[in-house]
């Protein structure tokens, strides 16, 4: 697709949108500035770079596939991220898990990590203009093998994980300060049981107490935002999950924290997008883990599904772009890992563009007048607007490949990486 054709198509599309009261220039400048947090763990199948070598056993999350080319070192992961970023329009952040520190071949246990282990990530992020987000890693560790961490019945195990998360918050605040942009520290724990539990109250009381201790250390909101991620069930926690949605909702509200909504962590018929307009009444912000669950919390690569579309429309309709932190969360080892990042991040941003291009004035007018027919008609008509031409132009202006040009770039990189890494 030539530059001239892309520009011509954009001008026509812009005029078409103007007819329905949508300013495409304004939409594009907003789209450019909204950061999407890229999850580092898609690059290496959630393994991390600790010396002991992590296994996900007992963690309730599962990576499947054996596509060649997994990143085996920080250098390889950065190289893959750079490739992905070169194909992605708009601003990004990098979302790190604690197990991705630079430990220099030493055994640094989770309760011993400190900011120095993440210094090189801060430098790399600065070089690429990325903000940083962070996550405690309360899984893939012998002390998590029982399926319990912060709510473990043994206080020594609880203490270990409390220390880990406290350190993670310190590291997050360090990253936020260093990058001049608040770091979102998200806490997800696998705690729960496969079968029916009779001490739900005790486990939740233990979690509550652990969280109180963890959050007792204050960090300025400008440096650190604390988020809590609930789950409905996991492998090995089918019957009981300590950190349920209600638990964190109540905890976060009284403690001044925010909650993380992962698209794969609710009943399949439950609408996650509908929760936004409620949460935004009571909380400063919301963290989104944009994911795609297929029958369960399978963490498939994100596509522009109806669900993602509806979620982004709600973010825009709630005028909450400043308060909603958009992060990706999926892991798929059946295909090019760089390709998976690019599909997911482009799909998320394309869904956001579609939301920003919604003929809002027409819709509001119809709704305000009680004209439910016109509202529905406009919702349908908006689907036929030429969004693809606006997206192509956005890619052009962002100096990333237009249309399908990025597919062959990924394939070429993938072949090179596979040849190098899996000999
Ligand atoms: C697990 C949660 C969590 C993880 C990452 C690796 O069910 O979704 O966000 O995917 O922390
Ligand atoms: Zn998640």
Distance of alpha carbon 334 from alpha carbon 67, whole angstroms: 5
CB hemisphere CA count around 75 (13 angstroms) = 3
Protein residue closest via CA to atom 11 of ligand 1: 188
pLDDT digits (tens, 9 = 90+) for 41-74: 999 999 999 986 666 766 778 899 999 999 999 9
Which ligand has an atom closest to residue 98 CA? Answer: 1
**Residues near ligand 1 with C-beta < 6 Å?**
41, 46, 61, 135, 188, 229, 231, 262, 289, 297, 329
Q: Which residues, including other chains, have CB under 8 Å from residue 207's CB and lie 6 or more apart?
A: 150, 151, 189, 191, 242, 243, 247
What dihedral angle (degrees, nearest 10) is formed by the CA atoms of 109, 114, 117, 119? 170
Q: Which is nearest to 286 in space by CA: 356, 221, 349, 227?
A: 227
pLDDT value at position 311? 98
Cβ-Cβ contacts under 8 Å for 305 (sequence gap 6 or more): 292
pLDDT for the residue numbered 417? 92
End-to-end CA distance of the chain: 37
Predicted pLDDT of residue 75:
97
Q: What is the pLDDT of residue 220?
A: 87
Give dist(CA 71, CA 43) in Å, integer.
6
Compute the distance between CA of residue 81 and CA of residue 130 in angstroms, rounded to an integer.
11
Q: Which among 60, 113, 48, 110 has a CA at the least distance from the CA of 243?
A: 60
Catalytic residues: 188, 229, 231, 262, 265, 289, 297, 299, 329
pLDDT attached to residue 52: 66
Mutating to test ligand 1, I would choose from 99, 134, 229 the residue with most ligand atoms within 8 A of its C-beta, which is 229
d(CA 70, CA 77): 8
Measured in Å, residue 58 CA sits from the centre of ligand 1 at 13
Q: What is the residue-averaged pLDDT of the chain?
A: 96
Can you say whether residue 21 is alpha, beta or left, with left for phi > 0 and alpha for psi between -120 and 50 degrees? left
How close is the Cα of 132 to the center of ligand 1, in Å? 17
How much distance in Å is there from the Cα of 301 to the middle of ligand 2?
Answer: 13
Ligand 1, atom 2, lies closest to the CA of: 188
383 with 309: CB under 8 angstroms?
no
Residue found by looking up tokens 């990590």 in the block:
113
pTM (2 decimals)?
0.98
226: helix, coil or strand? strand
3-state secondary structure of 285: coil
Which among 138, 140, 172, 188 is the best mutation to test ligand 1's pocket, defined by most ligand atoms within 8 Å of the CB? Answer: 188
Residue nearest to atom 1 of ligand 1 (CA): 61
Contacting residues for 117 by C-beta, under 8 A, at least 6 apart = 101, 102, 103, 108, 171
Ligand nearest to the CA of 135: 1
When the candidates are 3.40.50.1370, 3.40.640.10, 3.40.50.300, 3.20.20.150, the CATH number that belongs to 35-358 is 3.20.20.150
What residues have CB less than 8 Å from 2, skipping those under 6 apart?
none
- CA-nearest residue, atom 3 of ligand 1: 188
Strands 296-300 and 292-294: antiparallel
Whether the CB-CB separation of 227 and 168 falls below 8 Å is answered with no
**pLDDT tens across 219-238, in order?**
988 999 999 999 999 999 99
Nearest protein Cα to ligand 1, atom 10: 329
Please name every residue paired with 325 in a beta bridge, in sequence order, or none if there are none.
287
pLDDT tens-digit series, residues 327-354:
999 999 999 999 999 999 999 999 999 9
Atom of ligand 1 nearest to the CA of 135: 11
In angstroms, the CA 349 to CA 328 distance is: 11
| Candidate from 23-32, 61-70, 319-328 with smallest mean pLDDT | 61-70
Q: Which atom of ligand 1 is closest in space to residue 234's alpha carbon? A: 7
């Amino acid at each position: 697709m030539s530059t001239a054709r892309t520009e011509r198509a954009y001008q026509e599309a812009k005029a078409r949108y103007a007819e329905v009261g949508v300013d495409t220039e304004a939409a594009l400048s907003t789209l450019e500035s909204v950061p999407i947090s890229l999850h580092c763990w898609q690059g290496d199948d959630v393994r991390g770079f600790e010396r002991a070598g992590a296994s996900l056993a007992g963690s309730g999350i599962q990576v499947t596939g054996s596509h060649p080319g997994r990143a085996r070192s920080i250098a390889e992961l950065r190289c893959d991220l750079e490739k992905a970023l070169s194909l992605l329009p708009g601003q990004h952040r990098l979302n790190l898990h604690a197990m991705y520190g630079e430990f220099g071949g030493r055994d640094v246990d989770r309760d011993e990590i400190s900011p120095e282990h993440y210094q090189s990530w801060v430098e790399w992020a600065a070089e690429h203009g990325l903000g940083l987000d962070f996550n405690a890693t309360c899984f893939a560790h012998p002390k998590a093998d029982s399926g319990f961490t912060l709510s473990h019945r043994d206080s020594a195990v609880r203490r270990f994980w409390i220390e880990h998360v406290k350190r993670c918050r310190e590291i997050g605040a360090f990253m936020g300060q260093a990058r001049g942009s608040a770091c979102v520290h998200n806490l997800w724990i696998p705690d729960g049981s496969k079968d029916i539990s009779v001490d739900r109250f005790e486990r939740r009381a233990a979690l509550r107490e652990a969280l109180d201790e963890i959050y007792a250390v204050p960090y300025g909101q400008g440096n650190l935002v604390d988020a809590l991620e609930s789950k409905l069930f996991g492998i090995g926690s089918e019957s009981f999950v300590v950190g349920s949605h209600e638990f964190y909702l109540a905890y976060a509200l009284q403690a001044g924290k925010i909650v993380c909504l992962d698209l794969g962590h609710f009943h399949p018929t439950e609408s996650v997008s509908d929760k936004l307009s409620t949460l935004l009444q009571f909380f400063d912000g919301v963290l989104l883990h944009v994911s795609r669950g297929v029958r369960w919390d399978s963490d498939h690569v994100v596509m522009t599904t109806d669900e993602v579309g509806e979620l982004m429309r709600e973010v825009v309709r709630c005028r909450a772009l400043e308060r909603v932190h958009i992060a990706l969360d999926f892991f798929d080892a059946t295909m090019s890992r760089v390709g998976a990042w690019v599909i997911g991040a482009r799909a998320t941003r394309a869904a956001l563009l579609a939301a920003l291009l919604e003929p809002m004035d027409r819709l509001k007018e119809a709704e305000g007048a009680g004209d439910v027919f016109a509202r529905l008609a406009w919702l349908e008509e908006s689907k036929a607007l030429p969004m693809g031409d606006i997206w192509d132009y956005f890619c052009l202006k962002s100096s990333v490949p237009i249309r399908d040009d990025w597919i062959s770039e990924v394939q070429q990189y993938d072949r090179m990486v596979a040849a190098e890494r899996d000999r």
